[in-house]
């Protein structure tokens, strides 16, 4: 009679029966990667947040509260209850949890030793990525390296940021020797490589203003001769800047670490964040777009988010990177008369061309086109690491004409046909703004350079507060966590 | 000496008010020992002294005193007292005489439902009994209603649905729609825990027992009843016409500093009236029932066939429903000590639905409300038609349906949408049956065994053609889908009972055992993309599309099993002192070994003081029974396997590796939320005190007060996200309901005139008494609305799930007022506001208007419900009026899309604030709404949800028996009837009756109107024939 009540859990694999095989370990690793690419169900990701927050973009969309998390980011009206911080926080910590579970279980799994150590290295690199974002966004955060028993879940305290950086550096230095130099792009494109981990480590050092250490890591990634192929990893700037934004041109020679998307997961509205498609593509597209003749781009009608400010549009107007970066819809509609669109909220007419979805790339699987565009996002690409190494070297004192720093800096300009200019902080900042526009780097750069308050004041940015995000209120309820002093807390 | 008085003999016949003879009536000559009883033909004969008074008394009828005059023949008609105390009511696992029932049970008889044109059983109960609040979730034919017994019992949707038991077979709330109303003999609602506890773990939200009709030994009875009529919408919204719309849009855009788009609004005239295009003023509705019943000493049978066919009043071409029912109930009694039989109901229904019935994202009605009146419904000008895309939807004459250029997104020309959905349908087959045997080896000892099943097979075919509705909504691939699901639930019960009377001690003992299984739905859905068809009729799975364009998905349910032991003692002494005690033990597959079994006891007592010798004889209180009960019921309505640590897969764990065209989407696995092996039942304990009384012969009154408390409501409380795992199920919250219920009946006969009035009223008070420590509110099960986010919230010590938003502090009349609206530290709170904008109350007194200034704005759930039935008859004419209503509820009127600035408006917005209309209650309308007058949730969205609805009014005529008996008929009645003739309400939308529906968003929240399909008003003619 009692056994009658024991229902077989069927597809519900019990914890005790899992983590037994190499395939189990791989599936667990995949779940960690998933958090790296995790997009909010509310149709945004880290790039969208960073773009909305910076001076180059306005939130846009269909109205003043459409994707409200981006709106409040853009107007700096976010607080610990409202804003994108919950997404950033839980993305990081759920990734860390999955990484910690895998690291605690993998030792006991009988499997190929080399594969095991590679999985561990990938997991540690991903954990470092999660922590690096969390410590930059939230400063004082819990440092968790195991799994928390539910009975102790309210007892966790925050760690000093230095301890977090120590773990990040340790995870990366553990991982680097084990990771493969390259992976076959066709089948493993997107998995962490040695170069990706080193570029990350460089960024971590740069964030800590450890200039020589940062430059050393970037040098390995960038190769001996700026502008030429890195003989170890094969990295090389693409000859044509616009090719970076061809969704089919994945894992190109300039790509160091990519968030992979696919058109084939049939992601649906029930859980848009679970789609493998790229949601930036749909949200950046102009609303109500229709092509009147074939000279106009085949944009797929989108939701008109993250429009460029007129100020940025004029800043980039004469740069060779203008066209691949900015789509001027008013020009298409009113001058070329080749397309029509419906202005959205905050409309400027200038759209983020790097991401706008194209009809040609629409999925051929299923009918949920909006959520299944295949374009990848660059987490790190070579032009970025060129400029970062140049910055590190410059900070360490090297910037003269002909120096490596100067060569790196001007290699980025040369690729788009620009003449060399002097390397100084002002020029470097301009170059990063142009080269990496819309890619989610600008806001982090402004904060790192310490000029965010000055640049973003007109948007509502308050110096000494908005350099970090508020720790979500839900994390403070009943716990031992304290809000950062920037947000009125005690830490 | 003795004086012998002259005595005369009086003769006569006693009948009831329908003319039926009454055998067994006691006739007593007052002041003498003479008393007789009427014989089998209702006749009596008694000797009486002159001028004597005769008393006629019979259980269930009002006692009558008649002064004897000079006549020798005295025929008497007795009037039935209401709620016949001798009548038997169905209680869990048995029946009991109504006069000795100690629980709070309300009932509805099948005869009360005769000729009420409802097609779902929930509607049969609506307004009929106290304690039940029932609201239709949609006016689409065949739609289910939301049923709540004595308020809320738990959080969420499913856990508040009562348990339905039909002839002993447990049916889920969704599946109960299979039953044909004409087959219902009686419905009993077990309201208190003492009555319901015998259904243990599934009884917390109440139990509703349905008994179907059985044959009676004797004459064959053949009946037909049917009706036919037309339905229409009861109300239309006042929406802006073309000129008004263009004028309002102009002013909104000018206010936003933009150019006015319409140079001459007057040119647009009335424009397109989208409502009239989707509503049908003469949608037919019909129902036919045919039954044959009868039997002998050894066997009885009841067989019926019924057919209902209803066309909806909204988008009728794609809103239809029909159902055919067959019932076969039979019993066989081969020997005195054994009987067996079966009850079998089968139904098959076919429906086509408009799709979303209460949803602003593309519902037909929502599109009709929001589309601008400037867009023509059909493009008749060939020059304009030529500019339309080839894939724009066209009418049968090839003219494209107009596409709005102002109102886009999911809003589609409803005619175009209807065109693309023609033919799509869903279907179901239901079989609910049980076979039983009753063995009585010695008198009073019975073994009842029942094997029951509920089988359901359901599915549908849907075709979506390539269509261009607007630039946002344009399915560019055709798809054909077919889904099929089947469910087989079963239960087995063995019940042993023993009844015996020892003198005046009456005892019934019962012990039972049951096993139940449900939840094992299995389904598949197959979809073919890119088939070369443009209509449903052309579409077929015979088309061989590319393998990549054929997809199939399957679904598996999880068994939910329960096994139970239960026993009960019912005792009464002389029907004066009453007591019942019972206990049930349930084991459920949903709980871990720590708490797998739950015990559900209850006890109830009653006392009938009117039977006491010391109770003064009077004509005020004829009967009184005082009752009290306490019991515990359970709820296991949570997901399966919350007690086992499991590993999960799914989209939130997958990741892609590889280049375009060679990529692989890898399936990831990671732990689900931690398990909770201590998970246990939600427990609801309930105390009920009440009385049943008969007053002044003609009045019956039942009053119940109750207090029920649910502890350990299962929930997934928020946990810190830094743990990385998700929230897990815990027993966290408590909730309390208090209430009082009244049922009052009156029946009076004055000659040929009969009057019957039945009323009931229920008042509820709900309060959440416990949440996770440290939490003052939860947003679980909150309703959300477009960009407003959550619009309800549950606070501790407050009713469940109340509206939660900003309080409006009026409208700024001048720039000075804006500038003077300051925080305590002197900053202007709404620096960007302009005159005419909403002033949001700064409730927390800080220096910013933000989410912390939100507050409770009202309760979506009714706090009272009531119903009233009036029966009148005069000779062969009869009249029935029945109405019901609710009070204390607020409706969220969300008919307009907030995110489409060009959406049409109701005419009340013409009176919005403007510099020349400063006394307005609605804030100014400005394109983009910079102050968020309309895109922040303020009280302006809330309206009173109170209403009284005349649900049906009926007028009938029965042909005299003398006339119809010549052609062998026993009954011939014709009637006219109207449903929903009027509704008294202040609500500005279509229909204030808004139940919980999936479309209306999660959260078990009543009263959210996103453009809900309203209830129809109907006019019907009907016929009842009996042989």
**pLDDT tens digit sequence for B550-579:** 989 999 888 889 999 999 999 999 999 999
Residues 459-478 of B with CB under 8 A from A: 471-472, 475-477
Percent of chain B scoring above 70 in pLDDT: 97
Chain B residues whose CB is inside 8 A of the A86 CB are 721
Say whether pLDDT at B173 is over 80. no
The residue with greater pLDDT, B55 or B330, is: B330
Q: Which of A433-447, B10-24, B152-166, B818-832 has maximum average pLDDT?
A: A433-447
3-state secondary structure at position A351: strand
* ipTM score of complex: 0.96
Residue B776 has pLDDT above 50, yes or no: yes
Chain A residues 113-142 with CB within 8 Å of chain B: 141-142
Please determine, for residue B773, whether its predicted confidence score (pLDDT) is greater than 70.
yes
pLDDT tens digits for range A231-264: 899 999 999 999 999 999 999 999 999 999 999 9
**Res A12: pLDDT:** 65
Q: Is the dihedral of CA A203, A205, A207, A209 positive or negative?
A: negative
Structurally, chain B folds into a number of domains equal to 1
Contact check, Cβ <8 Å, A154/B720: yes
What are B434-477's pLDDT values in tens digits? 999 999 999 999 999 999 999 999 999 999 999 999 887 888 88
Question: How would you write B380-443 as a 3-class SS string?
Answer: CCHHHHCCCCCCECECCCCCEECCCCCCCCCCCCHHHHHHHHCCCEEEEEEEEEEEEEEECCCC
Contact A89 B563 (CB under 8 A): no
Residues of chain B neighbouring A247 (CB-CB closer than 8 A): 660
Query: Domain A183-260+380-423, what architecture?
Result: Alpha Horseshoe (1.25)
Least confident segment among A117-126, A264-273, B156-165: B156-165
Length of chain A: 491
User: pLDDT tens across B476-531, in order?
Assistant: 889 999 999 999 999 999 999 999 999 999 999 999 999 999 888 999 999 999 99
With CA atoms as reference, report the closest residue to B723 among A481, A136, A124. Answer: A481
> Residue A3's pLDDT is what?
62
- d(C-alpha B17, C-alpha B38), whole Å: 16
Residues 553-612 of B with CB under 8 A from A: 556, 558-563, 587-589, 596
CB contact under 8 A, A481 and B722: yes
Percent of chain B at pLDDT > 90 equals 61
**Confidence band for B852, pLDDT divided at 50, 70 and 90:** confident
Q: Does B796 touch chain A (CB under 8 A)?
A: no
Q: What pLDDT is recorded for position B642?
A: 78
Of B656, B722, B723, the CB nearest to A260: B656
B60 in a structural domain: yes
B787: nearest CB among A63, A86, A190 = A63
Which of 399-438 (A) contact B at CB < 8 A?
Answer: none
Closest to B270 measured CA to CA, from B369, B368, B376, B383:
B376
pLDDT at B726 over 70: yes
By the CB < 8 Å criterion, does B929 face chain A?
Answer: yes
Higher-confidence residue of A283 and B113: namely A283
Query: CA-CA distance, B60 to B964, in Å (whole number)?
Result: 30
Q: What is the CATH number of the domain that holds B43?
A: 2.60.40.1120
- Mean pLDDT (whole number) for B99-110: 89
- Position B301 pLDDT exceeds 90: yes
Closest approach of chain B CAs to the CA of A261, in angstroms?
A: 6
Characterize the bridge pairing of strands B76-78 and B8-16. parallel
Cβ-based contacts under 8 A for chains A and B: 250
8 Å CB contact between B137 and B240: no
**Nearest CA of chain A to the CA of B337: how many Å?**
31
Q: What is the pLDDT of residue B117?
A: 81
Query: In chain A, which among 334-393 make CB contacts under 8 A with chain B?
Result: 342, 345, 364-367, 369, 374
pLDDT at B311 over 80: yes
Q: Could you list the residue range(s) of the whole structural domain that residue B14 is in?
A: 8-78
Residue range(s) of every CATH 1.25.40.390 domain in chain A? 183-260+380-423
Dihedral of CA atoms B836, B837, B841, B847 in degrees, nearest 10, equals -120
Higher pLDDT, B77 or A98: A98
Q: Which residue of A has its CA nearest to B404?
A: A288
Asked whether the beta carbons of residue B655 and residue A94 sit closer than 8 angstroms, the reply is no
3-state DSSP assignment of residue B76: strand
The span from the CA of B946 to the CA of B888, in Å, is 6
Instruction: Locate the chain A residue with the closest alpha carbon to B648.
Output: A12
Burial class (CB in 10 A: 0-12, 13-18, 19+), A31: buried
Any CB–CB contact under 8 A between B628 and chain A? no
Residue A418's pLDDT is 97
Whether residue B684 is predicted with pLDDT greater than 90 in this model: the reply is: yes
Residue B1002: pLDDT above 60?
no
Task: Check residue B914 and report its DSSP letter.
Answer: B
What are the φ and ψ backbone dihedral angles of B830, each rounded to 5 degrees? -125, 70
- pLDDT reported for residue B18: 66
Decide if B684 contacts B633 (C-beta within 8 A).
yes
Residue of A nearest to B653 (CA): A31
Residues 165-194 on A with a CB inside 8 Å of B are 185-191
- Band (B2; pLDDT cuts 50, 70, 90): very low
pLDDT for A375-401, tens place per residue? 999 999 999 999 999 999 999 999 999
Residue B873 lies in a domain: no
Place of tokens 């015996």: B500
Average pLDDT over residues B604-629: 92
Statement: residue B899 has pLDDT above 50: yes
Q: CA–CA separation, A334 vs A332, rounded Å?
A: 6
Rounded average pLDDT over B400-425: 91
| Residues in chain A within 8 Å Cβ distance of B657 | 187-191, 260
Interface test with A, best of B639, B653, B656, B928 (most A CBs within 10 A): B656
Pinpoint the residues of chain A covered by CATH 1.25.40.890: 17-40+84-179+461-491
How many whole angstroms separate alpha carbon B512 and alpha carbon A434?
80
State pLDDT tens for residues B944-987: 999 999 999 999 999 988 888 888 888 899 999 999 999 999 99
Shortest Cα distance, chain A CAs vs residue B719, angstroms = 8
- In A, which residues are within 8 Å of B722 by CB distance? 89, 93, 141-142, 144, 148, 156, 475, 481
Largest Cα–Cα separation, chain A: 86
What per-residue string of b and e applies to B371-394 under the rule 16 or more CB within 10 Å gives b?
bbbbbbbbbeeeeebeebeebbbb
Q: Is the pLDDT of residue B115 over 80?
A: no
Give tens-digit pLDDT for A426-480.
Answer: 999 999 999 999 999 999 999 999 999 999 999 999 999 999 999 999 899 889 9
Query: Can you give the pLDDT at residue B812?
Result: 94
Neighbours of A152 (CB within 10 A): 9
Q: Which of A195-209, B622-636, B818-832, B869-883 has the highest mean pLDDT?
A: A195-209
How much is the mean pLDDT over chain B?
90
Query: What is the C-alpha to C-alpha distance for residues B205 and B221, in angstroms, rounded to an integer?
Result: 38
Which chain B residue is nearest to residue A131, measuring alpha carbons?
A: B722
Continuous H helices in B183-288: 193-196, 242-255, 274-278
Give me the residue label for tokens 């029965």. Answer: B958
Topology given in CATH for the domain delimited by A17-40+84-179+461-491:
1.25.40
Q: Which of A178-187, B662-671, B845-854 has the lowest mean pLDDT?
A: B845-854
A41/B contact by beta carbon, under 8 A: no
Distance CA(B295)–CA(B301), nearest Å, equals 6
Separation CA A452–CA A448 (nearest Å): 8
Strand B808-811 versus strand B789-790 pairing type: unpaired
Query: Distance (Å, rounded) from C-alpha B120 to C-alpha B126?
Result: 10
Q: Which of A64, A94, A287 sits opposite B724 (nearest CB)?
A: A94
User: Of A333-342, B131-140, B217-226, which has the strongest mean pLDDT?
Assistant: A333-342
pLDDT at B1: 47
> Which residue from B minimizes the CA distance to A252?
B659
Q: Check pLDDT > 80 for residue B17.
A: no
Closest residue in chain B to residue A251, using alpha carbons only:
B659
Please check whether residue A1 touches B, CB under 8 A: yes
CA distance A427 to A420: 11
Å from B650 to nearest chain A CA?
8
**Which residues have a Cβ under 8 Å from the Cβ of B859 and sit 6 or more positions away?**
B799, B802, B803, B888, B889, B890
CA B253 to chain A, closest CA, distance in angstroms equals 14
Q: What is the pLDDT of residue A9?
A: 59
Mutate to test the interface with A, among B554, B660, B827 (most CBs of A within 10 A): B660
User: pLDDT value at position B851?
Assistant: 82
pLDDT band at A40 (very low <50, low <70, confident <90, very high): very high
Contact B652 A274 (CB under 8 A): yes
Pairing of strands B621-635, B207-212: unpaired
Query: Are B903 and B896 a contacting pair, CB within 8 Å?
Result: yes
In this structure, what DSSP letter does residue B726 have? P
């Amino acid at each position: 009679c009692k056994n009658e009540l024991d229902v077989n859990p069927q597809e519900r694999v019990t914890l005790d029966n899992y983590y037994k095989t190499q395939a189990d370990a791989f599936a667990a690793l995949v779940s960690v990667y998933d958090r790296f690419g995790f997009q909010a169900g509310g149709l945004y990701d880290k790039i969208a947040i960073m773009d909305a927050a910076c001076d180059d973009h306005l939130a846009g969309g269909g109205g003043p509260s459409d994707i409200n998390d981006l709106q409040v980011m853009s107007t700096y009206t976010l607080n610990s209850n409202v804003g994108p911080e919950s997404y950033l926080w839980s993305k990081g910590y759920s990734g860390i949890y999955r990484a910690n579970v895998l690291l605690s279980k993998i030792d006991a799994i009988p499997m190929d030793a080399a594969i095991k150590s590679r999985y561990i290295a990938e997991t540690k690199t991903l954990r470092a990525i999660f922590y690096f974002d969390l410590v930059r966004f939230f400063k004082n955060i819990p440092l968790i390296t195991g799994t928390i028993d539910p009975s102790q879940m309210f007892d966790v305290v925050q760690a000093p940021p230095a301890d977090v950086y120590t773990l990040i550096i340790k995870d990366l230095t553990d991982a680097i020797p084990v990771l493969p130099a390259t992976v076959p792009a066709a089948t493993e494109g997107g998995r962490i490589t040695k170069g990706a981990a080193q570029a990350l480590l460089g960024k971590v050092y740069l964030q800590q203003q450890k200039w020589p250490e940062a430059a050393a890591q970037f040098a390995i990634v960038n190769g001996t001769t700026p502008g030429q192929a890195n003989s170890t990893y094969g990295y090389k700037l693409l000859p044509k800047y616009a090719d970076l934004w061809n969704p089919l041109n994945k894992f190109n020679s300039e790509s160091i670490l990519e968030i992979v998307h696919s058109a084939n997961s049939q992601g649906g509205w029930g859980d848009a964040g679970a789609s493998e498609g790229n949601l930036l593509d749909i949200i950046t597209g102009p609303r109500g777009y229709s092509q009147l003749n074939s000279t106009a781009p085949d944009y797929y009608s989108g939701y008109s988010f993250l429009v460029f400010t007129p100020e940025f549009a004029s800043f980039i107007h004469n740069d060779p990177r203008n066209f691949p970066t900015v789509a001027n819809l008013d020009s298409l509609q009113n001058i070329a008369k080749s397309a029509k669109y419906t202005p959205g909220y905050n409309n400027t007419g200038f759209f983020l061309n790097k991401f706008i979805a194209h009809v040609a790339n629409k999925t051929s699987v299923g009918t949920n086109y909006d959520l299944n565009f295949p374009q990848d996002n660059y987490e790190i690409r070579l032009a970025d690491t060129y400029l970062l190494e140049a910055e590190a070297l410059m900070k360490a004192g090297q910037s003269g004409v002909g120096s490596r720093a100067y060569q790196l800096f001007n290699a980025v300009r040369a690729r788009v046909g620009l003449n060399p200019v002097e390397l100084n902080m002002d020029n470097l900042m301009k170059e990063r703004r142009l080269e990496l526009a819309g890619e989610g780097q600008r806001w982090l750069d402004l904060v790192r350079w310490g000029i965010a308050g000055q640049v973003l004041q007109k948007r509502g940015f308050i110096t000494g507060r908005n350099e970090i995000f508020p720790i979500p209120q839900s994390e403070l309820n009943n716990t031992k966590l304290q809000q950062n002093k920037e947000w009125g807390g005690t830490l | 000496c003795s004086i012998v008085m002259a005595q005369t003999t009086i003769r006569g016949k006693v009948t009831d008010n329908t003319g039926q003879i009454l055998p067994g009536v006691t006739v007593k000559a007052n002041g003498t020992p003479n008393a007789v009883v009427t014989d089998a033909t209702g006749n009596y004969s008694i000797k009486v002294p002159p001028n004597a008074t005769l008393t006629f008394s019979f259980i269930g009828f009002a006692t009558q005193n008649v002064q004897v005059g000079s006549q020798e023949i005295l025929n008497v008609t007795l009037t039935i007292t209401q709620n016949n105390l001798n009548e038997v009511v169905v209680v869990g696992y048995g029946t009991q005489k109504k006069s000795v029932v100690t629980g709070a049970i309300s009932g509805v008889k099948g005869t009360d439902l005769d000729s009420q044109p409802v097609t779902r059983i929930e509607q049969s109960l609506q307004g009929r009994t106290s304690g039940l609040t029932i609201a239709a979730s949609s006016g689409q034919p065949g739609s289910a209603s939301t049923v709540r017994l004595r308020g809320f019992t738990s959080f969420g949707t499913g856990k508040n649905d009562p348990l339905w038991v039909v002839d002993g077979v447990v049916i889920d709330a969704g599946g109960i729609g299979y039953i044909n109303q004409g087959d219902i003999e009686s419905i009993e609602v077990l309201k208190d825990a003492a009555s319901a506890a015998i259904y243990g773990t599934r009884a917390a939200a109440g139990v509703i027992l349905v008994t179907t009709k059985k044959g009676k030994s004797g004459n064959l009875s053949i009946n037909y009843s049917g009706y036919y009529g037309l339905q229409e919408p009861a109300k239309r919204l006042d929406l802006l016409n073309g000129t008004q719309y263009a004028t309002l849009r102009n002013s909104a855009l000018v206010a936003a500093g933009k150019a006015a788009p319409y140079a001459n609004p007057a040119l647009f005239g009335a424009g397109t009236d989208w409502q009239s295009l989707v509503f049908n003023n003469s949608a037919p509705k019909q129902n036919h029932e045919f039954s044959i019943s009868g039997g002998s000493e050894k066997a009885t049978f009841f067989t019926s066939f019924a057919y209902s066919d209803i066309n909806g009043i909204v988008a009728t071409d794609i809103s239809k429903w029909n159902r055919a029912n067959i019932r076969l109930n039979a019993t066989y009694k081969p020997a005195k000590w054994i009987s067996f039989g079966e009850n079998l109901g089968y139904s098959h229904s076919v429906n086509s639905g408009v799709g979303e019935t209460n949803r602003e994202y593309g519902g037909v009605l929502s599109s009709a409300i929001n589309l601008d009146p400037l867009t023509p419904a059909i493009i008749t000008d060939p020059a304009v038609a030529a500019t339309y895309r080839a894939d724009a939807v066209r009418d049968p004459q090839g003219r494209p349906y107009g596409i709005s250029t102002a109102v886009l997104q999911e809003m589609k020309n409803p005619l175009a949408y209807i065109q693309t959905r023609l033919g799509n349908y869903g279907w179901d087959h239901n079989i609910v049956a049980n076979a039983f045997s009753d063995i009585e080896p010695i008198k009073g000892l019975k073994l009842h065994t029942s094997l029951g099943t509920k089988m359901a097979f359901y599915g549908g075919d849907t075709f979506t053609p390539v269509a261009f509705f607007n630039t946002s909504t344009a399915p560019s691939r055709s798809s054909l889908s077919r889904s099929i699901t089947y469910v087989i639930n079963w239960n087995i019960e063995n019940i042993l009972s023993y009844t015996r009377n020892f003198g005046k001690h009456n005892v019934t003992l019962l012990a039972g055992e049951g096993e139940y299984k449900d939840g094992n739905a299995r389904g598949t859905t197959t979809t073919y993309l890119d088939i070369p068809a443009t209509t449903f009729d052309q579409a077929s799975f015979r088309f061989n599309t590319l393998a990549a364009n054929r997809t199939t998905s399957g679904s598996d349910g999880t068994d939910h099993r329960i096994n139970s032991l239960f026993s009960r003692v019912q005792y009464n002494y002389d029907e004066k002192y009453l007591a019942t005690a019972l206990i049930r033990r349930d084991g459920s597959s949903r709980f871990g070994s720590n708490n797998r079994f739950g015990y559900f006891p209850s006890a109830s007592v009653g006392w009938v003081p009117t039977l006491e010798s010391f109770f003064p004889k009077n004509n005020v209180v004829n009967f009184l029974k005082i009752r009290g009960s306490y019991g515990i019921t359970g709820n296991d309505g949570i997901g399966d396997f919350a007690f086992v640590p499991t590993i999960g897969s799914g989209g939130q764990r997958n990741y892609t590796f590889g280049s375009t065209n060679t990529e692989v989407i890898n399936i990831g696995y990671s732990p689900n939320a931690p398990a909770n092996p201590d998970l246990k039942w939600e427990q609801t304990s309930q105390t009920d005190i009440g009385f049943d009384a008969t007053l002044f012969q003609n009045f019956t009154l039942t009053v119940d007060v109750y207090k029920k408390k649910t502890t350990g409501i299962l929930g997934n409380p928020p946990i810190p996200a830094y743990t990385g795992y998700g929230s897990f199920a815990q027993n966290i919250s408590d909730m309390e309901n208090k209430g009082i219920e009244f049922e009052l009946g009156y029946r009076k006969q004055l000659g040929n005139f009969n009057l019957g009035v039945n009323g009931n009223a229920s008042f509820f008070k709900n309060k959440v008494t416990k949440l996770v420590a440290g939490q003052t509110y939860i947003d679980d099960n909150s309703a959300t609305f477009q960009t407003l986010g959550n619009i309800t919230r549950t606070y501790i010590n407050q009713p469940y799930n109340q509206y939660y938003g900003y309080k409006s502090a009026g409208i700024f009349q001048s720039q000075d007022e804006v500038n003077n609206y300051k925080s305590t530290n002197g900053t202007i709170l709404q620096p960007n506001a302009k005159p005419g904008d909403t002033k949001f109350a700064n409730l927390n007194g800080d220096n910013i208007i933000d989410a912390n200034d939100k507050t409770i704005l009202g309760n979506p759930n009714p706090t009272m419900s009531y119903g009233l039935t009036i029966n009148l008859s005069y000779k062969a004419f009869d009249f029935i009026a029945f109405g019901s209503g609710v009070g204390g509820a607020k409706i969220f009127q969300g008919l307009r899309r907030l995110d489409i600035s060009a959406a049409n408006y109701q005419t009340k917005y013409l009176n919005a604030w403007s510099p020349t209309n400063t006394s307005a209650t609605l804030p100014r309308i400005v394109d983009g709404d910079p102050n968020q007058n309309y895109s922040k949730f303020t009280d302006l969205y809330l309206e009173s949800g109170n209403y009284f609805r005349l649900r049906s009014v009926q007028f009938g005529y029965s042909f005299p028996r003398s006339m119809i008996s010549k052609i062998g008929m026993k009954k011939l009645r014709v009637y006219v009837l109207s449903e929903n003739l009027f509704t008294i309400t202040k609500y500005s939308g279509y229909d204030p009756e808004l139940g919980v529906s999936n479309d209306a968003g999660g959260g078990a929240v009543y009263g959210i109107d996103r453009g809900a399909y309203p209830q129809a008003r109907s006019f019907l003619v009907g016929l009842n024939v009996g042989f």
